[in-house]
Structures are given as C-alpha cells and as structure tokens.
Chain A
Amino acid sequence: MTHLLDIRNVSRRFGGVLAVNDVTGHVDEGELVGLIGPNGAGKTTLFNLISGFTPLSSGTVSFDGRTISGLKTNQVARLGISRTFQNLRVFPNMSVFDNVSVGAVGALPQGAFGALFGSLAGGGARSAEISRRTWEALEAVGLTHVAGELAANLPYGQRKYLEIARALAMQPRFLILDEPAAGLNDTETRALADFIKRLHGTGLTIMLVEHDMTLVMSICQRILVLASGRKIADGPPDTIRRDQAVLEAYLGVDA
C-alpha cells in the first residue's frame, strides 16, 4: 500500500551541520501524526523539506505516489499540502477575509482575465467558489464575525486560528501545523487540541510539529521523534512515553 506522504532517506546539510540526517518515515491517509523533538532536532527543517521551502541534500519525498522533492513551494501547495508557520505569518495589512481568500485563490488560481471580465470569461463561478471556500474556512475556525477586520488588529490567539483558516481554505489533503501551541496558555492549548481533533474528525490528514510533548501525547495517534537530525522513535504515544532513547533525548538521562 502506498502512503500519502512517504519520506525516504532524507538529509539536509547546512554547511557542516547535518540538520536532517537520513530520516525515513511516512504518513497515511487520515492519520493524525505528531513530529516531536527537542529544540534544534530538525523538525522545522524536515517540515521545510516536505513543503519545498528548502531543497533536499539527498533522499526523496513523495506525496500520493508522486515525487515532490524538487518541486517549487507553490506547486507542492497546489498538490494539497498546506501549512501554518511557527512564527505567525498572517498578512497584516489585509482583512481577515482577504487573508483567508489567499489560501483559496492559491489552490484555485484566478487569472488576470478572470478578474477583469468576471462572469463574461467564466470567472464568475471561480470567484463564487473561492468566496465559498473562504467563508467555509472562516466558519470552521469561528472567525466569521471579524471577517472585515484588519488581520494586524486581531489578538494573538485569533491570529493563530486565522493562519489555520487560511491553510484550510486551500482545502488541503494534508495539513501541517508548525508549533500551533507556541505562546498559548493551558486553556487555549486545550481548546486548540479539541479543535485539531475536530478537524481530524472531518477526515483531514494532519501532522503536528511540536516540541511540547503534552499536546502531542494527548491527541496524536502516532508520533515520530527526531533528535539531532535523526529519527529515534516512531510509534503510538504509549510506546513513545516509555521509549528509552526518547527519554534520553528529552531529559538527558544516561542509559
């Protein structure tokens, strides 16, 4: 059986540093997978390798049976891999609605002619679909009431959900959340956990990149653990919790 996402012997070298070292792993359709590791373990690098942000030094990444290593970031995105950013990157000078519409128009491009002539050039249906997806995504994260606000004016927590809405508007097959809980308090983190579980419940395949174990342990079905660029464990939360190598990596315990 082919996996939705298949990572084979992937490495990335930055000068003398091997940020990701020969990592192999996979994500199946419908899974909710966690990717954890201490700071500097190579999580974000691996994630950037998947999304085409950073070119691979060696290895291959394939999505739905198709090799995606070497594709441009926007091509990878249009295949159905959508992401959020660790350091919030909303478009500050655009409205909440317009922010989210970028995700929709990215997945479903509207050309200059479509914009110019609208329904005359058959662009009307496209516009309506983009608009529908945008409202749907806003509805999913509960931000419809601030659709007209400038993104820069939203509080931090809402901007997180705005980023997720923008990623959802692409109607991705695979959603990667990069440290979504960073900067949130316990209550907010619990609400986020519920939200992610609900998203997963709709059939979306999700990968959660976190260095904080608790969120990942509580909701993920399977967890990949990176340390110093290598994959050191891969399994359900219960196994990971007792895994000697993981404990060492996190706590520095001698074996």
Chain B
Amino acid sequence: MNVSDLSAPPRGRGLLIPLLLALLVFVGLPAMLAGFDRGYFYQIANLALIFILLSASMHLVTGVAGLLHLGHAAFYGVGAYTAALLSTKFGLGFTVTLPLSGVVAALIAFLVALPTMRLVSIYFAVATLAIGQMLYLVMLNWVEFTKGPNGIIVTKGLELFGFSLSGRLATYYTVATVVALCVLAIGRLSHSYYGNALRSIREDDQCADAMGVSTARLKMEAFTMSAFFAGVAGSLWAHMTGYISPGDFKFSESILILAMVVVGGLGSLPGAVIGALLLILLPEGLRAFGDFRNIMVGLVMFLSILLLPKGLLGEVSALQLARRQLGAAWRNTVKGEGIGWR
C-alpha cells in the first residue's frame, strides 16, 4: 500500500446527514411552527435548541475530555447574567452581549480552572460542583448586583446590529443559527486530532502525557471552551425569554445537562444532540401525565444507563468511566505527592 496516498483518517466524511439536518432545522421545522402558529411550540423549539448547545458544550468537556463536570449550568448562568446586566445597565444589545457572555463565562472558567485542573477524577468533579454552587449562590444572594431571587427582566430582544429579530420566526431563526454555528465549531473541535488528544486524556491521562500531550493545558482549554459555549447559550436564553432568575441555573440543571450527554452517549456529538432533544421533548410530550412524567423521565434515564451502557451512540461507558474515576482516587500515592491531584 502506498502510504502517501492515505492522507485522511479512516472515517466517513458524509455530508448528507448534516445537510438533511440543516434542511430540517432551517426549512422543515420553521414551516411546521408557522403552520401550527402557537407560541408554545416556538418556545419548546427554542428551549430544545438552547439545551442542544448546552449538551454539546458539555460533550466537549465530559464526553471527549472525560472530565466529570457538575457545575455546567452555572456557566450558562454567568452568560445569561452577563447578557442581562449589560443589557439593563448599559443598554447593550444582543449583538454585543452574545460574544461577551461567552467571553465572560470562559474567563471565569479559566480562573476557576487554574487551581482545580491538577485535581484528578472525583476530586475534580467535587470541585466543579462547589464552583457551580458558589456561582449560583452569588446570583441568588448578591441582591444589589444580580437582583437576587427576583431575577432580572431583559427588555431588549434578539437583534442583529440594530435590526430587531424578536418576532417569533425571527427569534427561532436567530437561535437556530447561533446554535448551529456553535455545534459546528464543537464538531470540528471534537472530530480533529486536537479532539483525539482530548480523548486520550479521557482514556488514560498518564499515558497521554507520555505521548507528549500537555494534559493539564488541554484540560484547561476544554473546560474554558465549554464554558464559552455555555455562556453563549445563556445570552440566547436571557434575550429570548426576557426574564432570568437564579433558579434557571441551579445544580439540577447541571445534572440535567449531564444526563443528556450520558443518555446520548459520552463522546458522541450526535448523541449529545439527541440526548438533549429527548430530555427536553419527553417531559413536554408527557405533560398529560402530570407529575408522573418526572418518574417516567427518570425511568428513561435509569434504563438507558442499565441497558445501553454507552448511551445511544457513545464511545465510552458512563459507568466504566465513573468507576475508573472513583477507583483512581484511592490509588496509593508516593510520599510527597498529595492524594487526588497531579
């Protein structure tokens, strides 16, 4: 075999499915939404899109890099609050707050990551849990700044360089475009050699280190980038709904996003998208069953872990990853090295 001919990795580069998806999101769905013409459907569609972005950003840090992140919703919140505060205090519009929300969330994630990135396995997970709670408590209790539990009303809707995009269909299109672009970016990141380096950290970080991969730096980048995308999602949410409060970003939301990634399959971007759709649409579809629907959603999650250890499309089993992370924490350490960090 002539080696020089083989310049591409052995994976399908099918364009058909992405094209069909784009067609569905930008033509099919809007047509249906316009046909039904009910605000409720638009809301569900937008919510699903935002959670697709959250799930996809979580996929980058948890699915690909294998870092158990329990505070993702807090960075979503940081983005939303950045957008809301910039908009109410300085009168800035969506065009400006969208990137800034991402940048602020990424900045906070970066600062937080500096001391926590050397933590391994379960200790890292606990640290992200604590960070999520801290950010949530700031949103809740710093009343002068964030208006606390009352939340913030955002009067400025979606717009692009001053053109209002706040009509129902325009809002949908804006959210869909931003989400699609972000998911595309995440896809390029995770399906690259860079993504492979991240995966190697998930698989065996010491071994990755011996292969020349700067594990600490890459973990930091994955964590920061995922916070950026969560921040962008937060900005979409703030301008779309017009009202945010700390309750939208509490711990249970982080767990919901984690569940989306796990159900869809760790390491698979299509999985993360499907997981988000499932866990947003299922509870809505089951509204007729009242509070029983939560039990049914729980059952779906439970069964998916039990029967589909790798989720729908995943590369790695969630239980296997969790067990290894828990187990790794109890390894004997050499004198002079702290337990639980590297």
Q: Which residues of A contact B (CB under 8 A)?
A: 14-15, 51, 53-54, 72-74, 77-78, 82-83, 85, 89, 91-95, 97-98, 101-107, 109-112, 114-116, 118, 127-128, 130-132, 134-136, 139, 144, 147-148, 166-167, 170
Contact = CB atoms under 8 A, between A and B. Distances in A.
B215 A74 contact: yes
Contacts of B202: 93
B197 A93 contact: no
B36 interface: no
A85 B195 CA distance: 23
A54 B6 CA distance: 38
Given A74-B215, A106-B211, A131-B9, 7 more contacts: A93-B199, A97-B10, A107-B211, A116-B188, A139-B3, A147-B10, A148-B11
7 smallest beta-carbon distances between A and B, as pairs: A106-B212, A115-B192, A91-B203, A115-B194, A77-B212, A106-B211, A105-B193
Chain B interface mostly helix, strand, loop or mixed? helix
12 contacts: A73-B209, A74-B215, A92-B203, A98-B196, A104-B193, A105-B194, A107-B211, A112-B189, A115-B194, A131-B6, A131-B8, A147-B10
Chain A interface mostly helix, strand, loop or mixed? helix
Contacts of A167: 211
B204 interface: yes
B326 to A, nearest CB: 18
Contacts of A118: 188
Given A73-B209, A89-B204, A116-B188, A101 B193 contact: yes
Contact of A74 (B199, B203, B209, B334): B209
Interface of B: 1, 3-4, 6-11, 185, 188-189, 192-197, 199-200, 202-204, 206-215, 221, 225, 267, 315-316, 334-335
Contacts of A147: 10
Contacts of B206: 53, 73, 89
B197 A102 contact: yes
A95 B9 CA distance: 10
A74 B212 contact: yes
A118 B13 CA distance: 15
B110 to A, nearest CB: 13
Contact of A14 (B188, B210, B214, B334): B334
Given A93-B316, A116-B185, A98 B9 contact: yes
Contact of B197 (A73, A110, A139): A110
A110 B217 CA distance: 13
Contacts of A53: 206, 210
